[in-house]
Chains A and B, each alone.
Chain A
Amino acid sequence: MIPLSWYLLFSAALFSIGLFGVLSRRNAVAILLGVELMLNAINVNLVAFWRYGDIAVMAGQVFAIIVFAVAAAEVSVGLALVISVYRRRNTVIAEDLDLLKW
């Protein structure tokens, strides 16, 4: 049997990798890829806690499902945003999209 810690460490690592992607990629799509990694890490945690906690309590899996839904929504809207930005500004480099500054 695999100890819980392995899963937790794995998801921690995956999360950090995703975070790195989010923080360092220039391409907006790539940033979203990083976000996906982070979400997956969270899901692994949730399911692992379900498995190692009380099996009868389905909260972990349910949350995982909810996270799926949220991820799908996030990606669809995010990519739609990227595409419409690309239509207007003809770029998807996050650094170029800095209209928000002073």
Chain B
Amino acid sequence: MATENLIWLLPLPPLLAFFLIVLFTNKNKALSHSVAIGAAFLSWLGSMIVFIRAVGVEHFGEHPFASSINWLPTGDNWFKLGVLIDPLSAAVLFFVAWTVLMIFLYSVGYHNFGQPAGDHDHKGLPPHGATLHGHSVPSIEPMYSRFFAFIGLFAFGMYTLVVSDNLLTLYVGWEIMGLCSYLLIGFWFAKPSARNAAIKAFMTTRLGDVFMLLGIAFLYSSTGTLTYREIFTESTLHALATIPSGVFGLSAAGLIALFLFIGTVGKSAQFPLHVWLPDAMEGPTPVSAMIHAATMVSAGVYAVIRMFPLYSLDAKTMTIVAFIGAFTAIFAATIAVAQNDIKRVLAFSTISQLGYMIAAIGMGAYIAAVFHLITHAFFKALLFLGSGSVIHGMEHGVYHTGNHHLDPQDMFNMGGLRKKMPITFWTFLIGGFALSGFPIITAGFWSKDEILADAFANGHMAIFITLALAAFLTAFYTMRQITLTFLGEPRTEEAKHAHETNWTMTTPLVILSVFAIGYGWVGIPEHFPLLGGLIPNWFHEFVGGTLAEHPETLPFNVVPLLTSLVVALGGLGLGWYIYRDVKTAEQDKLQFALLKNKYYFDEIYDYLFIQPSIWFSEVFVSKWMDKGVIDGILHLFGPATGGIGASIRNYFDVPFINQFLGDGSANSVYWIGKNLRPIQTGRIQQYLLLSLVVFSVVGGLIYILLLA
């Protein structure tokens, strides 16, 4: 099959799976998950085929796979919808396909497939476990099929976003994913915390999305197209760069880029819209958490990278982007240091890593950003799944001891899981090292080092230092997490009895860990000592082809390399040193209230926005405007209308309308009807005949009188 058609088909299987499950198979759990996984596998297969064909093409950047259809006639020309796979989207497609497939597979195990139904499980609450001859065991998720339906829809959104060749369908996929994250965060809708988190995430991202929509609309109104390849032509870009937008001195390009960027800020949880992501950890499982923390949020970054030519037009915007990115990176990293929930740590680290990418784009380090995006997606997915596996193992312990009050996600309840869950431990270790950029072997090192090198080479000293600091913190809290979770001795009874999870959960871990290490080697810079040039810097060549002018490779500089070595190893070492024998949360020196409460951002927002809006709606609108003003006016209307109505009735209605018009017309109609009645014989042919006669007579008259 032609590649273009194949690309068209890529997003469909998960969507079909969604409808299939929702409409038909939701009663049958096994069928549901096989449908979902089968769909994910089909998409994965297609993506791999597309990817391999893409790699095969020479100068893929100049002539990517693209096809489009006329969708909407807009006056003189068409609004086109279509698909586009160029080097960038091919690379993204690669990791999306892998991660999505892994998630689907992993969910089977995570939701305790094969376990008995819970004794007193309710839809909308996490499974409480069942008693199987005597002792209690995990119980299967009550809404198992629904979960697979949701992630199927999510996968559809992600694929759509990646393969689409214009901002509109990208936005569609974007919003579908927003919906999915809402559904998945609020998956256990019986838990108030989950409900609120879902609403919070939805509202926060919505704020960004509205701006993004504004940006898209502005872009369309000023260029008349939303297709990337039509926007990124010399003439269009130049026009955009020259038109002034009239808003604080930005060019149109700048303003559009800014709007789109706000959308990204919402979607990939950049400061100041980062607040939803930590709460999103209320989502039932690390699976859903990882869906919208490792995959979906990269959609935001992807959007920015996708529109990079537009961003690069306006220096102001670039500066803002870079600033926000760098700030988020350091800001989130500091928070992550003080979190105890294994998932929240990862959430904040995600935020800070995304900040990395955003900062990289802000500095114009295009390829570095893409590279880090992909490596990060892999090892962060690995970490989330690993944490899920850990929690699952801990729940095993919980079921063993029966102490359901213990929080299986608190790292201070863990420890010493190294021996209990070897596979999870090693894979988690790999992921953690990759995240903290452990030198040479891990993928994270190469991508992060490239960003730092870029920052240094282009002389963005402030950003360079910030990012280096962030990298140090990253390494630190990663090691803290690993140490608290796996090393040392079990702190609780549950941790003692945790044991390894089943293959459906460990297989994805192993596969992802391969990428977490290996993916770095496709992007080793050429001028790197010793290693450089051993493996050609394929990634740079391939993805660099996306841009019109191919970005040149940086000259090697020893400073950033040393920096990243120092921060990575130093952070890891320090983390291990401090936490090697911390027994309880009290002994943790770094539990500053400020950090623990995420700089009180939730409270601030609550005070600044939520309370006022509540006041506005309840007091101002409801009590004053509605009850007071509007009702008051209405109450005035009543008597007045009554008076007018009565007079009209007595002096006009009764005598004139009723007696003269009403009865008079009725009588006349009755009379006419009585006399016309015989015509209506009820014989269809006569009706037809009559109409034809009339028609021919009238037609003839018209013809004779008017035309002739």
- Residues 30 to 75 of chain A near chain B (Cβ within 8 Å): 31
Q: Tell yes or no: A77 within 8 A of B by CB.
A: no
In chain B, positions 659-683 with a C-beta closer than 8 Å to chain A are 677, 680-683
Contact of A98 among B677, B682, B688, B689 (CB under 8 A): B682
A10 to chain B, nearest CB (A): 22
The reply to whether B681 and A101 form a contact with Cβ atoms under 8 Å apart is yes
Taking a contact as CB atoms under 8 Å apart, the answer to whether B683 and A23 are in contact is no
Q: Does B640 contact A (CB under 8 A)?
A: no
A23 and B689 within 8 A (CB): yes
Shortest CB distance A34–B (Å): 10
Flag if B683 contacts A98 (CB, 8 Å): yes
Q: What is the 8 Å Cβ interface bit string for chain A, positions 77-102, against chain B (1 contact, 0 not)?
A: 00000000000000000110111111
Closest to A99 in B: B682
Complexed CA–CA distance, A67 and B597 (Å):
73
Residues of B within 8 A of A102 (CB): 677, 680, 682
**CA–CA, A22 and B682, complex, Å:** 16
Chain A residues, Cβ within 8 Å of B684: 94, 97, 100
**B685 at the A/B interface (Cβ < 8 Å)?**
yes
Give Cα A23 to B681, complex, Å.
15
Q: How far is the CB of B671 from chain A (nearest CB, A)?
A: 15
A-B pair number, CB within 8 angstroms? 29
Q: How far is the CA of A67 from the CA of B681 in the complex (A)?
A: 32
Q: Which of B313-358 contact A (CB under 8 A)?
A: none
A13 to B684, CA, bound (A): 23
How far is B689's CA from A23's CA once the two chains are assembled, in angstroms? 7
Task: Give the residue of A22, A24, A31, A98 whose beta carbon is less than 8 angstroms from that of B681.
Answer: A98
A35–chain B nearest beta-carbon distance, Å:
11
Contact across chains for B683 and A95 when beta carbons are under 8 A apart: yes
Q: Residue of B at shortest CB range from A96?
A: B683
Q: Are A23 and B688 in contact (CB under 8 A)?
A: yes
Q: Which residues of B contact A24 (CB under 8 A)?
A: 685
Q: Which parts of B684-703 form the interface with A (CB within 8 Å)?
A: 684-685, 688-689, 692
Closest-CB distance, B76 to chain A (whole angstroms) = 23
Q: How many residues of A contact B (CB 8 A)?
A: 12
Complexed CA–CA distance, A97 and B684 (Å): 9
Min CB distance B131 to A, Å, is 62
CA distance A100 to B681 in the complex (A): 8
Nearest-neighbour CB distance to chain A for B661, whole angstroms, equals 26
CB distance from B379 to the nearest CB of A (A): 58
Which residues from B are CB-within-8-Å of A31?
Answer: 685
Residues of chain A within 8 A (CB-CB) of B683 are: 94-95, 98, 101
Q: Which residues of A contact B689 (CB under 8 A)?
A: 23
Q: Which residue of B lies closest to A31 (CB)?
A: B685
Interface string of B391-412 (1 = CB under 8 A from A): 0000000000000000000000
Name B687's closest neighbour in chain A (CB-CB): A100
Determine the distance from Cα of A23 to Cα of B690 in the docked complex, in whole angstroms. Answer: 10
Enumerate B37-78 residues with CB–CB distance to A below 8 Å: none
A48 to chain B, nearest CB (A): 24
**Contact, CB under 8 Å: B677 / A22:** no
Bound form: Cα–Cα A24–B689 in Å: 9
Distance of A31 Cα from B692 Cα, bound (Å): 16
* Distance A99 CA – B689 CA, assembled complex (angstroms): 18
CA–CA, A99 and B279, complex, Å: 71
Measured CB to CB, the closest approach of chain A to B641, in angstroms, equals 43
Whether B682 and A23, one on each chain, are in contact in the complex, defined by CB atoms closer than 8 angstroms, is no
Instruction: Report how far A100 CA is from B680 CA in the complex, Å.
Output: 8
Residues of A within 8 A of B688 (CB): 22-23
Residues of B within 8 A of A22 (CB): 685, 688
Most buried by A among B685, B688, B692: B685
CB–CB A101/B685 < 8 A: no
A22 to B685, CA, bound (A): 7
Taken residue by residue from 5 to 34, chain A's Cβ proximity to chain B (1 for < 8 Å, 0 otherwise) reads as 000000000000000001110000001000
A25 to B681: give the CA distance in the assembly, Å: 17
B residues in contact with A97, CB < 8 Å: 682, 684
* B680, B682, B689 interface centre (most CB from chain A within 10 Å): B682
User: Complex Cα distance A99/B685, Å?
Assistant: 14
| Min CB gap B683→A, angstroms | 5
Complex Cα distance, B681 from A101, in Å, reads: 5
Please report the C-alpha to C-alpha distance between residue A61 and residue B343 in the assembled complex, in whole angstroms: 66
How far does the alpha carbon of A24 sit from the alpha carbon of B692 in the complex, in Å? 13
Q: Which residues of A contact B677 (CB under 8 A)?
A: 102
Closest to A26 in B: B685
Taking the nearest CB of chain B, how far is it from the CB of A54, in angstroms? 23
Within 8 A of A (CB), among B629-669: none
Nearest opposing residue in chain A for B674, CB measure: A102
CB distance from B503 to the nearest CB of A (A): 56
A31, B688: Cα distance in complex, Å: 12
User: What is the CB-to-nearest-CB distance from B268 to chain A, in angstroms, rounded to a whole number?
Assistant: 51
**How far, in whole Å, are A9 and B525 apart by their CA atoms in the complex?**
82
Please give the distance in Å from A85's CB to the nearest CB on chain B.
Answer: 12
- Which of chain B's residues have a CB closer than 8 A to the CB of A98? 681-683
- Residues in A neighbouring B680, C-beta threshold 8 A: 100-102
Query: What is the bound-complex CA distance between A46 and B692, given in angstroms?
Result: 23
- Kindly list chain B residues whose C-beta atoms are within 8 Å of the C-beta of A94: 683-685
Compute how far the CA of A98 lies from the CA of B680 in the bound complex, rounded to whole angstroms.
10
Shortest A86–chain B CB gap in Å is 16
> How far, in Å, is A91 (CB) from chain B's closest CB?
13
Given A100-B682, A101-B680, 8 new contacts (CB under 8 A): A24-B685, A94-B684, A97-B684, A98-B683, A100-B680, A101-B681, A101-B682, A102-B677
* Between-chain CB contacts (< 8 Å), 20 pairs: A23-B685, A23-B688, A23-B689, A23-B692, A31-B685, A94-B683, A95-B683, A95-B685, A97-B682, A97-B684, A98-B681, A98-B682, A98-B683, A100-B682, A100-B684, A101-B680, A101-B683, A102-B677, A102-B680, A102-B682
Nearest 5 Cβ contacts at the A-B interface:
A101-B682, A98-B682, A100-B682, A102-B677, A101-B680
Please give the residue numbers on chain B whose beta carbons come within 8 Å of chain A beta carbons, in ascending order.
677, 680-685, 688-689, 692
Q: Residues of A at under 8 Å CB distance from B? A: 22-24, 31, 94-95, 97-102
